[in-house]
Structure 1
């Protein structure tokens, strides 16, 4: 119906190198998805299999050499799973009116690129939080809900309870991870709300009572909890549909990373053979070593310019014994 007059409604779309470079370089400092799920080198296939980390390094075998010099052969079981890089993309039209009233049309396209990229990455952040803060992502016995005693009485109080003991809770979680995997966790993942609860906890306030600054810093918390880093998810989202709230009116926002706390092991050297809680697989769908690409085209009828960001990825928990989840920490 749209082409009933015999002409195309849009010009042929093409990859825009400048806008693609902007999309590739775009970062939102509030997003931590790529820290929790570090990116592997881009993959050339949209779907493939990868090794799942197991317990082979801890199994004892009879290594006595026989009188004839023969040695026993180990049985090395390998497990696999598969990734699939779903496509994610959004476009933003720039109307003829916007272009006419702008002193710099290129800047409109740059802004559209940043907006579409940011919104695609917002969904990626939500996906990462849904995976990392989900008890189903952890092996049996490696998650609990604070405020209950289903796993251990140490976890019986939330951080908002002044009589709770976050240090003991983190130490106990470390013990559970190590005894189940031989892996030592090195990162605590919390939302900004969870981080604030830790900073204001009487236990840590007592530690800085006589310090010069009198402020509980991230460095102090890292040292007290015995982790290399604390990833603070500051990103927010609204669950209201578009148009539900009039422009200029405030909308209720919620922290994407919720109320939980995840203690995980994150590798410093992302590699398929390096154990870590999770990885991000990015598909090089254009074969040019670029994960995110931006296309641009003109709509003939409306005379609008469309800017579109595309991104193919999959965030996978590849080692569910390399972490411990404390749900509802606050």
Structure 2
């Protein structure tokens, strides 16, 4: 037997004994589910050929005005004017590098361990994983916080609200569906666009799943074998939005060497209601875009490269690059709600 003294002695005699070999069928890596990441699920990516440039904005006031006039006899009406102006984006390059010790890898490769022993594969996946974390953190700092949008509401425990206040969804007297319908109608009246994106903090989603007003609407759709449940799709239908995203990605916000400080990247007690396009369009407004520049000119917005270290170091490196600019392109097409629970 392999784990008996005689078995080990036999393997040593045959020259096949390898002590301290990593398991071949498992490894521990805290990669997150790709569905947890939210930045690109809310605002679409707009590929750009230049690191910075202008984009046009046509004023809604002129586009939505009735500019038709009665033609005077033997004359003509004055030309209609649609005002335009420009704004700019500026993609800054971010980088991540991970090293590989070639001497150490000699030992690991000769042990014939699991596939994860391939250092390039492991570093590549880690860089891609952290690219998602980085994008979500940039998104949360740009769009998912108090002060990011002009139209901002605050949740309160009281049933008496005024101004831009609303009853917290954790309060049984609140009516989330009615409240969000009212906000959607207000945005449509102001812009001609009905919000189609709802981004929920983790705690807001949990509260809505158990809110009595929502449970009452779905409970008769279940059976003993298949009880009714409140999912993201169910909430999207109830709130009448095309896409509902729950902000589940997490990050360690502690510095290197400090105790771990795991937190949700997006505020778990807030939510964002917005209108955004599924893909960039010159004739359609969007609350925001993620401008992405292929800085190497090869069409890749997240190139991952491999190169050797200096002579004598017996090292090599895996490098990731990305250049994004997350821009608010229509302030009136989003509403932010803080302290919702």
Q: Choose between structure 1 and 2 for higher RCO, CA contacts under 8 A separated by at least 6 residues.
A: 1
Equivalence for 1:255? 264
CA 1:91–1:131: 2 relative to 1, 3 Å: same
Matched, 1:120 2:124: no
Q: CA deviation at 1:269?
A: 3.6
Aligned equivalents of 1:215 and 1:49: distance in 2? Answer: 47
Aligned equivalents of 2:218 and 2:72: distance in 1? Answer: 62
Aligned residue pair count: 295
Aligned equivalents of 1:47 and 1:328: distance in 2? Answer: 36
The 5 Å alignment of 1:116-155 reads 116-139=127-150, 142-147=151-156, 149-152=161-164, 155=165
1:75 to 72, 77, 81: 81
2:50 to 39, 45, 49: 45
Equivalence for 2:199? 189
RMSD: 2.2
The 5 Å alignment of 1:98-109 reads 98-100=104-106, 101-102=108-109, 103=112, 107-109=118-120
1:304 to 298, 315, 319: 315
Per the alignment, in what secondary structure is the counterpart of residue 176 of structure 1?
helix
Unmatched segments (≥5 aa) in structure 1: 1-26, 246-250
Q: CA deviation at 1:120?
A: 2.4
Contact 2:91 2:292 survives alignment (8 Å): yes
Contact 1:188 1:231 survives alignment (8 Å): yes
Deviation per CA, 1:103-159, whole angstroms, max 9, x where unpaired?
4698310210111122122111111122222343323xx21111173525xx43211
Contact 2:116 2:122 survives alignment (8 Å): no
Per the alignment, in what secondary structure is the counterpart of residue 130 of structure 1?
helix
Per the alignment, in what secondary structure is the counterpart of residue 147 of structure 2?
helix
Unmatched segments (≥5 aa) in structure 2: 1-32
Q: CA deviation at 1:238?
A: 2.0
Aligned equivalents of 1:57 and 1:260: distance in 2? Answer: 33
Equivalence for 2:293? 283
Q: CA deviation at 1:61?
A: 2.6
The 5 Å alignment of 1:1-330 reads 28-40=34-46, 42-55=47-60, 56-100=62-106, 101-102=108-109, 103=112, 107-139=118-150, 142-147=151-156, 149-152=161-164, 155-210=165-220, 211-212=222-223, 213-245=227-259, 251-258=260-267, 259-299=269-309, 300-330=311-341
CA 1:162–1:58: 2 relative to 1, 3 Å: same
User: TM-score with structure 1 length normalisation?
Assistant: 0.82
Equivalence for 2:23? none
Aligned equivalents of 2:36 and 2:312: distance in 1? Answer: 39
User: TM-score with structure 2 length normalisation?
Assistant: 0.80
Q: CA deviation at 1:232?
A: 1.1
Q: CA deviation at 1:67?
A: 2.1
Contact 2:48 2:291 survives alignment (8 Å): yes
Contact 2:232 2:245 survives alignment (8 Å): no
